[in-house]
């Protein structure tokens, strides 16, 4: 995997990769350190408990958050297939247009694709209500199960565990034992390098991406954490943190990416809206140079889809598969079970046209593309770095200041009453 491919992956705000980098690699370990430092002056014992809670909480949540939704999706997809339906059929196809729709796709692709593909469409067409219920169930389970675990079950388990540790420390203190080894301090693991931080409502929600479902799950997770808080101050403290996390994880990054791209264009004249993989593609640069770059003639749905169907080997179709979720079967025929997001394709087409025009004006297309690629890569890394800094450092600091203002103490509100017990 090349450096450009890696940067492209972590720069795609519609995928999980930026979240993985920010969450597991930067945000969580920083928060553990900050939590420990915030509590240690008032009470070293509470600091250790708070760091332990944060360690268990954050990594357990990350595991469920990043892996739970895809795992449940796969399990429910298996169930749907066992019932004779193909979960890849997109419900948005029931909204017929001039270029795509379930009836139109059956008509246009029958005889061109395998009978199995057409049967998948016909089965869903004839049993729409049943299929909708299955996809609604899939959405419900893939969001509710992680939500319940992260928002309600996990905090109760951690609170109970902390309660046992507090009682154990209390008993040891009463027995006047000088050295306590009641639990491993997660700060030691970090310092010693023992951890490596490696048409209708149903049709809309049924086609939520994993990241969309993660956002929904985070909303329920936030509600659960507030509801299971050990006291009023902890509920307020957690609510502040979760609101900030939702904003910085799902709202801010796409807008920040657009801002950085626009700023780069104004300052340097470089069009960096395209993905680094496209900018690094020699075939793309050569097509611009030889004026053989094939693109749809206009932005109508009919023209875009017709182009995809008649020129599946074109660069535009190749990028449509890679970046716009257009699906083709093995014989280069577009999968009629999938819905085509024409709006997204039009945006990519216009960005390719704009880049080609600017590259030709530069008189050195290869050099222009290379500069644009590195500028785009810089913007992606800046976005990740800045959003990570906000999540890992600025948000906790703001939370601590808010906590001090509300409670008058630096201690974790849920553990503050434990200070006198240990």
Q: What percent of the chain clears pLDDT 70, i.e. is strictly above it?
A: 79
Region 193-215: mean pLDDT is 55
Average pLDDT (413-422) is 63
Q: Is the pLDDT of residue 162 over 80?
A: no
Q: What is the pLDDT of residue 48?
A: 81
pLDDT at site 323: 92
pLDDT confidence band for 54 (50 / 70 / 90):
confident
Residues 6+ apart with CB under 8 A from 373: 4, 276, 279, 280
pLDDT value, residue 201 = 61
pLDDT number for residue 29: 78
| pTM for this model (two decimals) | 0.67
The per-residue pLDDT for 101 is: 94
Q: Is the pLDDT at 177 greater than 80, yes or no?
A: no
Residue 348 has pLDDT above 70, yes or no: yes
What does the pLDDT look like over 294-318, one tens digit per residue?
999 999 999 999 999 999 999 999 9
Greater model confidence, 196 or 33: 33
Q: Give the least confident one: 178-192, 196-210, 237-251.
A: 178-192
| Predicted confidence (pLDDT) at residue 380 exceeds the cutoff of 50 | yes
Q: Which of the four pLDDT bands, split at 50, 70 and 90, describes residue 420? A: low
Which residue did the predictor score with more confidence, 3 or 54? Answer: 54
Q: How far is the C-alpha of 326 from the C-alpha of 319, rounded, in Å?
A: 9
What's the confidence (pLDDT) of residue 50?
A: 78
- pLDDT value of position 226: 79
Q: CA 273, CA 251: separation in Å to the nearest integer?
A: 19
CA distances, 59 to each of 28, 56, 69, 380 (Å)? 7, 6, 16, 25
Q: Greater confidence, 284 or 203?
A: 284
Q: Which residues pair with 110 in a beta bridge?
A: 113
pLDDT band at 388 (very low <50, low <70, confident <90, very high): confident
**pLDDT: is 255 or 24 the higher one?**
255
- Tell me the pLDDT band of 208, cut-offs 50, 70 and 90: low
Higher pLDDT, 202 or 238: 238
| pLDDT tens for each residue of 97-138 | 999 999 999 999 999 999 999 999 999 999 999 998 898 888
Q: What is the pLDDT of residue 192?
A: 46
User: pLDDT value at position 409?
Assistant: 86
Cα separation, 102 vs 89, in Å, equals 9
Of 116 and 410, the one with more pLDDT:
116
Please compute the mean of the pLDDT values over residues 23-51 and round it to a whole number: 75
The residue ranking higher by pLDDT, 75 or 349, is 349
Is the model's pLDDT at 370 over the cut of 90? yes
Q: In this model, does residue 199 exceed pLDDT 80?
A: no
Average pLDDT score over residue span 67-71: 79
Q: In this predicted model, what pLDDT tens digit does every residue of 269-299 receive, in sequence order?
A: 888 999 999 999 999 999 999 999 999 999 9
Average pLDDT over residues 16-40: 71
pLDDT for the residue 212: 67
Tokens of 389: 């800094």
pLDDT at 280: 92
Mean residue pLDDT across the chain: 81
SS3 annotation, the chain = CCHHHHHHHHCCCCCCHHHHHHHHHHHHHHHHHHHHHHHHCCCHHHHHHHHHHHHHHHHHHHHHHHHHHHHHHHHHHHHHHHCCCCCCCCHHHHCCCCCCCHHHHHHHHECCECHHHHHHHHHHHHCHHHHHHHHHHHHHHHHHHHHHHHHHHHHHHHHHHHHHHHHHHHHHHHCCCCCCCCCCCHHHHHHCCCCCCCCCHHHHHHCCCHHHHHHHHHHHHHHHHHHCCCCHHHHHHHHHHHHHHHHHHHHHHHHHHHHHHHHHHHHHCCCCCCCHHHHCCHHHHHHHHCCCCCCCCCCCHHHHHHHHHHCCCCHHHHHHHHHCCCCECCCCCECCCCCCCHHHHHHHHHHHHHHHHHHHHHCCHHHHHHHHHHHHHHHHHHHHHHHHHHHHHHHHHHHHHHHHHHHCCCCCCCCHHHCCCC
Distance CA 156, CA 346 (A): 48
């Amino acid at each position: 995997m090349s450096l450009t491919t890696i940067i492209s992956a972590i720069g795609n705000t519609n995928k999980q990769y930026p979240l993985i980098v920010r969450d597991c690699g930067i945000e969580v370990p920083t928060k553990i350190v900050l939590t420990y430092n915030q509590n240690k002056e008032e009470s070293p014992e509470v600091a250790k408990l708070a760091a332990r809670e944060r360690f268990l909480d954050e990594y357990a949540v990350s595991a469920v958050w990043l892996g739970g939704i895809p795992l449940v999706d796969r399990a429910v997809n298996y169930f749907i297939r066992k019932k004779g339906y193909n979960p890849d059929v997109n419900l948005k196809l029931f909204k017929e247009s001039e270029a795509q729709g379930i009836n139109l796709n059956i008509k246009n692709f029958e005889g061109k694709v395998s009978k199995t593909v057409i049967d998948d469409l016909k089965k869903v067409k004839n049993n729409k209500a049943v299929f909708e219920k299955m996809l609604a169930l899939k959405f419900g389970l893939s969001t509710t199960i992680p939500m319940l675990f992260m928002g309600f079950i996990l905090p109760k388990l951690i609170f109970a565990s902390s309660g046992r540790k507090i009682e154990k420390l209390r008993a040891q203190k009463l027995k006047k034992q000088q050295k306590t080894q009641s639990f491993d301090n997660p700060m030691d693991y970090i310092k010693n390098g023992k951890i490596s931080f490696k048409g209708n409502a149903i049709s809309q929600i049924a086609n939520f991406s994993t990241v969309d479902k993660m956002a929904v799950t985070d909303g329920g997770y936030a509600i659960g954490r507030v509801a299971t808080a050990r006291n009023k101050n902890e509920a307020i403290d957690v609510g502040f943190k979760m609101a900030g996390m939702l904003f910085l994880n799902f709202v801010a990054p796409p807008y920040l990416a657009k801002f950085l791209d626009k700023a780069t264009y104004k300052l340097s004249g470089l069009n960096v809206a395209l993905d680094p993989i496209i900018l690094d593609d020699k075939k793309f640069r050569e097509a611009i140079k030889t004026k053989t770059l094939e693109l749809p003639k206009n932005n109508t749905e009919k023209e875009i889809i017709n182009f995809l169907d008649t020129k599946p080997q074109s660069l535009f179709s190749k990028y449509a598969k890679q970046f716009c979720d257009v699906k083709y079967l093995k014989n280069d025929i577009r999968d009629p079970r999938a819905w085509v997001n024409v709006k997204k394709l039009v945006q990519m087409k216009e960005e390719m046209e704009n880049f080609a025009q600017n590259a030709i004006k530069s008189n050195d297309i290869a050099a222009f593309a290379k500069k644009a690629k590195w500028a785009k890569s810089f913007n992606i890394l800046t976005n990740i770095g800045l959003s990570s800094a906000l999540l890992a450092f600025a948000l906790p600091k703001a939370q601590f200041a808010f906590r001090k203002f509300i409670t008058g103490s630096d201690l974790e509100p849920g553990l503050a009453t434990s200070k006198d017990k240990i």
